[in-house]
Chains A and B, each alone.
Chain A
Amino acid sequence: MNIVVCIKQVPDTWSERTLKASDSTLDRDAADAIINELDEYAIEEGLRLVEAHGGEVTILSMGPERAAESIRKALSMGADKAVHLVDDALAGSDALGTSAAIAQVLGQIGFDLVILGCESTDARTGVLPAMLAERLGVPQLSYASRVETDGSAIAIDRQADYGYDRVQATLPAVVSVVEKINEPRYPSFKGIMAAKKKPVQTMSVADAGIDPAQVGLANAACEVVSFAKRPPRQAGTIVADEGDGGAKAAEFLASRKFI
């Protein structure tokens, strides 16, 4: 099975994240960068499926030069090879533009299964998997907490408000995963060494045959008008329980008219 896992490099959720004053895009230099946490679950699921059914895992990431670090980490977890879509013309693309670019590359490199995280921690739009499925004309199996495939049919549990749905389709398909699906492995020393020799193909907009009019900040269908840090919450009242903590909490709730 030919599996492509799409990963995004994002600022570490633990470090301060901000937007650039100049163009309201993410200030990627200001924060430590890591693989979007959910994408590690996507990689893990790809590796497990290949271990069970044979085939190859290809990592695909669109992002600046620096994303090469995250790609290398994904390879050290055990992925076989990678494609890095990198081009200044892609900077500032919105979800529509990003999906156009990634779909174009997927069309070129081919796939049986594309696996993504269901949401990134920086943009948090969570719309990319749906957009890719729509562009590629293949079924989308979203919010998967379990994936099962025999190489031609695929079934997942799709998490929902009420529980979950059992959903079935035939490959090729796009799957997006929730973190309940597995526990991602840590790269082993051997994996880290091996990753250094694994092939990473870099592609530009022109190499991939992406229509430049569909990508980049200037062509984005949405624009940020302004942004501001939210004021921090006002410090609250903290009491130590001296046998009356519950009563005090009730008093607070009553003072705010919750009871």
Chain B
Amino acid sequence: MAEILVLAEHDGEAVKKVTFELVTLARRFGDPAVVWTGPGAQAAQSRLAEYGAAKIYLAEGAEFDEYVVAPKAELLADLVASHDPAAVLLASTAEGKEVGGRLAVKIGSGILTDVVGLADDLTAEQLIFGGAINVSARVRTGTPIITVRPNAISPEPASGEAVIEPVSLTVSDGAKQARILERVVQQRGARPELTEASIVVSGGRGVGSADNMALIEKLADSLGAAVGASRAVTDAGWYPHQFQVGQTGKTVSPQLYVAVGISGAIQHRAGMQTSKTIMVVNKDPEAPIFELADFGVVGDLFKVVPQLVEEIEKRTS
């Protein structure tokens, strides 16, 4: 059976959930071969095996962490040439799309992004215009490169060997032009990652201040959720930019999205309207966000949210 290459997303220790989703998806089309760059593969091996990875192509060089994406694209192009996979799957994240774009040019293949499902013939289902239109599309030239949205596929265990095969690649000078000088990690505590969380609680301008974002965090923690924010909040500096949900922030598609003090501008909706269930707290009954709500409370968030937290804690303790 042909291989399906899956580029692992990880932070050198933990594998991101989306990688298990991709491996689960890959199994339907061939033998999942995970491509791992940098450290951490040995620690991740057993977990990748649990989701049915047949192989792990391991490239350990420091270049992969020292330079922006180009070395990863070079590695994938090399593996496509030597192993002729039936497809290459990547996460539809900023990083995944950038690797995919470069790879598409290198191997002259079509790329489909923001994919939420694949038919047996690799026809991809995509959501465009912020989820308003469903498109079925197909790559007709080269080895299909497909970037899949986190949370679109549910990861399912299956047994695999996950045999580690070291790959030696001399990264070209051309791929070493954008050097990472420093990594600035902004604390997010023990909360789940925004794009991977099954529940997201987001705060908007209605929250009123950076200090009040603690209320959103409290609600999030009571539900084991990730915290998100509208652009009004990140622009005001009340919460770091990487938590922004929307057109120019993260696209999330959790089981439950709770929008607190958010009006529902089109740019915000573009990042959350494919959430399975949506709950809204807003004092303005005319706020457009209510159009998306499965359940909405028209009221002051400073009254509704503390009561909600208290009720949740009562029910879960």
**Complex: how many Å from CA A148 to CA B102?**
25
**Complex: how many Å from CA A131 to CA B108?**
11
Query: In the complex, are the beta carbons of B295 and A167 less than 8 A apart?
Result: no
Query: In the complex, are the beta carbons of B179 and A167 less than 8 A apart?
Result: yes
Give the bracket for the number of chain A residues in contact with chain B.
35 or more
Query: In the complex, are the beta carbons of A258 and B73 less than 8 A apart?
Result: no
**Complex: how many Å from CA A68 to CA B149?**
35
Closest to A130 in B: B101
**Complex: how many Å from CA A149 to CA B304?**
48
| A127-B100, A159-B242, A169-B178 known; A246 vs B306 contact (CB < 8 Å) | yes
Give the bracket for the number of chain B residues in contact with chain A.
35 or more
Q: Give the residue of B94, B223, B235 whose beta carbon is less than 8 angstroms from that of A143.
A: B94
Query: In the complex, are the beta carbons of B296 and A17 less than 8 A apart?
Result: no
Query: In the complex, are the beta carbons of B180 and A166 less than 8 A apart?
Result: yes
**Complex: how many Å from CA A234 to CA B278?**
11
Query: In the complex, are the beta carbons of A13 and B295 less than 8 A apart?
Result: no
Q: Give the residue of A126, A161, A220, A252 whose beta carbon is less than 8 angstroms from that of B279.
A: A252
Instruction: Encode contact with A along B294-312: 1 for CB under 8 Å, 0 otherwise.
Output: 1111111001111111111
Query: In the complex, are the beta carbons of B311 and A246 less than 8 A apart?
Result: yes
A208 on the interface (CB 8 Å rule)? no
Instruction: Encode contact with A along B162-177: 1 for CB under 8 Å, 0 otherwise.
Output: 0000000000001001
Query: In the complex, are the beta carbons of A236 and B296 less than 8 A apart?
Result: yes
**Complex: how many Å from CA A224 to CA B141?**
13
**Complex: how many Å from CA A125 to CA B93?**
11
Query: In the complex, are the beta carbons of B180 and A130 less than 8 A apart?
Result: no
Q: Give the residue of B135, B185, B267, B304 whose beta carbon is less than 8 angstroms from that of A245.
A: B304
Give the shortest distance, in Å, between A252 (CB) and chain B (any CB).
4
Within 8 A of A (CB), among B223-245: 223, 231, 234-235, 240-242
Query: In the complex, are the beta carbons of B256 and A230 less than 8 A apart?
Result: no
Q: Which of B39-47, B48-56, B78-86, B121-129 contacts A (4 or more CB under 8 A)?
A: B121-129
| A131-B104, A241-B303, A256-B277 known; A96 vs B98 contact (CB < 8 Å) | no
Instruction: Encode contact with A along B271-287: 1 for CB under 8 Å, 0 otherwise.
Output: 00100011101000100
Residues of A within 8 A of B99 (CB): 130
**Complex: how many Å from CA A226 to CA B123?**
10
A80 on the interface (CB 8 Å rule)? no
Q: Give the residue of A135, A173, A228, A246 whose beta carbon is less than 8 angstroms from that of B133.
A: A228
Residues of A within 8 A of B110 (CB): 94, 96, 220-222
Query: In the complex, are the beta carbons of A161 and B142 less than 8 A apart?
Result: no
Query: In the complex, are the beta carbons of B133 and A233 less than 8 A apart?
Result: no
**Complex: how many Å from CA A15 to CA B267?**
13
Q: Give the residue of A37, A127, A168, A259 whose beta carbon is less than 8 angstroms from that of B312.
A: A259
| A134-B105, A167-B68, A224-B137 known; A237 vs B296 contact (CB < 8 Å) | yes
Q: Give the residue of B178, B266, B267 whose beta carbon is less than 8 angstroms from that of A141.
A: B178
Q: Which of B29-37, B111-119, B204-212 contacts A (4 or more CB under 8 A)?
A: B111-119
Residues of B within 8 A of A229 (CB): 132-134
A142 on the interface (CB 8 Å rule)? yes
B190 on the interface (CB 8 Å rule)? no
Query: In the complex, are the beta carbons of B138 and A160 less than 8 A apart?
Result: no
| A160-B94, A249-B304 known; A165 vs B184 contact (CB < 8 Å) | yes
Q: What number of residue pairs across chains A and B have CB atoms under 8 A from each other?
A: 294
Query: In the complex, are the beta carbons of B181 and A155 less than 8 A apart?
Result: yes
Query: In the complex, are the beta carbons of B267 and A127 less than 8 A apart?
Result: no
A19 on the interface (CB 8 Å rule)? yes
A52 on the interface (CB 8 Å rule)? no
Give the shortest distance, in Å, between A44 (CB) and chain B (any CB).
14
A206 on the interface (CB 8 Å rule)? no
Query: In the complex, are the beta carbons of B102 and A130 less than 8 A apart?
Result: yes
B148 on the interface (CB 8 Å rule)? no
Within 8 A of B (CB), among A61-90: none
Query: In the complex, are the beta carbons of B308 and A250 less than 8 A apart?
Result: yes
9 cross-chain CB contacts under 8 A? A17-B129, A142-B98, A162-B186, A163-B186, A163-B240, A233-B292, A238-B295, A245-B304, A253-B256
- State the A residues within 8 Å of B (CB): 13-14, 17-19, 24, 37-38, 94-96, 99, 118-119, 121-131, 133-135, 137-143, 145, 155, 157-170, 173, 178-180, 220-230, 233-234, 236-241, 243-250, 252-254, 256, 258-259
**Which 9 A-B residue pairings sit nearest by Cβ, starting from the closest?**
A246-B307, A241-B299, A221-B110, A130-B101, A127-B101, A250-B311, A139-B177, A221-B141, A246-B308
Given contacts A130-B99, A130-B101, A138-B177, 11 further A-B contacts (CB under 8 A): A13-B266, A118-B94, A119-B247, A127-B104, A134-B70, A142-B98, A226-B136, A229-B132, A241-B299, A246-B310, A256-B277
- State the B residues within 8 Å of A (CB): 11, 68-70, 73, 93-95, 97-102, 104-106, 108-114, 123, 127-142, 174, 177-186, 188, 193-195, 199, 223, 231, 234-235, 240-242, 247-248, 255-256, 266-267, 270, 273, 277-279, 281, 285, 290-300, 303-312, 315-316
